[in-house]
Amino acid sequence: MSEKTDKTEQQRLSVFKTYKLYVGGKFPRSESGRVYEVTDSKGKWLANAPLSSRKDARDAVVAARKAFGGWSGATAYNRGQILYRVAEMLEGRRDQFVREVADAEGLSKSKAAAVVDAAIDRWVWYAGWTDKIAQVVGGGNPVAGPFFNLSTPEPTGVVTVLAPQESSFLGLVSVIAPVIATGNTVVVIASEKSPLPALSLGEVLATSDLPGGVVNVLSGKTAEIAAPLAAHQDVNAIDLAGADDVLAKELEIAAADNLKRVVRPQAVDYSRTPGIERLTAFLETKTVWHPTGALGASGSSY
């Protein structure tokens, strides 16, 4: 590159991105029309993120519920391919996420790159789980009678996730991928302080063959958005990863109203390969009985 070109590049004014929510496969602004200022770790302005309202939260639940039938009804193989596609798309936008994660979490470029790489690999990890979890946690049961008896896991339904506050991207991916891998749909509240990687992830999901509404991303005040979601009668489960102890207790009480499945906040090292806890947390077990009968009148066996 010549000096002249460098100069021209320096002088060019960059185009800012308007960060928007990702709901029902579309990119709306908050219906409230409100935004809040997002800064990097040194306090420098990065963007104005949508400040989601209760109405945004309810809209997101409607979108997630609408998507549930199709997504949970898709074959596990199909879901696996789509999750893998997310990894492919993310790999192509790696530089963007490295920049956003570095800004959001105050990391060096190389540390941010390691975080983004781990997040991409995490999608691959969960892509492989879609058609295996049933083989690990399901199976035939040898009941003491002439019955076929089979237990299979099924997705719980619409899951609200409070994304981790500190790990704005790897943490986020680590909590939403297991939820959707098994066929649930999700409403996720991005890290309050660092919502930008989550909002950008919406753009990746939108181009990964993931049906609209399977993942819905909200940004804003975690406590403000989480309250109506924890109390929402059409939400089946809630992951409190991004709540502090006080908020977590409050939300768990609200969640009890329709007996949501609750995952309490816990210390997680998101850089480590996860187990299957976050997969099984949002699964129901369905057991089917059927008589095996006997052969003819004699009932003789071989």
Q: Which residues bind another protein (CB under 8 A)?
A: 76-77, 80-81, 84, 121, 124-125, 127-132, 135-136, 148, 273, 276, 290-296, 298, 300-302
CB of 85 to another protein, least distance (A): 10
CB of 261 to another protein, least distance (A): 21
Closest to another protein by CB, 10 or 301? 301
Answer whether 284's CB lies under 8 Å from 153's CB: yes
CB of 19 to another protein, least distance (A): 31
Q: Give which of 247, 244, 248 is closest to 263, Cα–Cα.
A: 248
CB of 133 to another protein, least distance (A): 9
Closest to another protein by CB, 14 or 298? 298
CB of 36 to another protein, least distance (A): 37
Residue 110 burial (C-beta neighbours within 10 Å; 0-12, 13-18, 19+): exposed
Closest to another protein by CB, 160 or 174? 174
Q: For tokens 């295996």, what's the residue? A: 132
Residue 144 burial (C-beta neighbours within 10 Å; 0-12, 13-18, 19+): exposed
Closest to another protein by CB, 110 or 148? 148
Closest to another protein by CB, 19 or 125? 125
Closest to another protein by CB, 121 or 252? 121
The residue length of the chain stands at: 302
CB of 33 to another protein, least distance (A): 43
**What is the helix (H) or strand (E) element at residue 66, kind and residue range?**
helix 54-73
Strands of the sheet containing 237-239, edge to edge, are: 215-218, 185-189, 158-162, 237-239, 261-263
Closest to another protein by CB, 122 or 232? 122
Residue 281 CA to residue 168 CA, distance in Å, equals: 21
Give the pair of three-digit tokens for residue 94. 């790696």
Closest to another protein by CB, 155 or 202? 155
Residue 272 CA to residue 230 CA, distance in Å, equals: 29
CB of 273 to another protein, least distance (A): 7
CB of 302 to another protein, least distance (A): 5
Helices marked H in 74-143: 76-92, 94-105, 109-129, 133-137
Task: Evaluate the CA torsion angle 103, 51, 224, 57 in order and state its sign.
Answer: negative
Q: Give which of 266, 267, 262, 214 is closest to 238, Cα–Cα.
A: 262
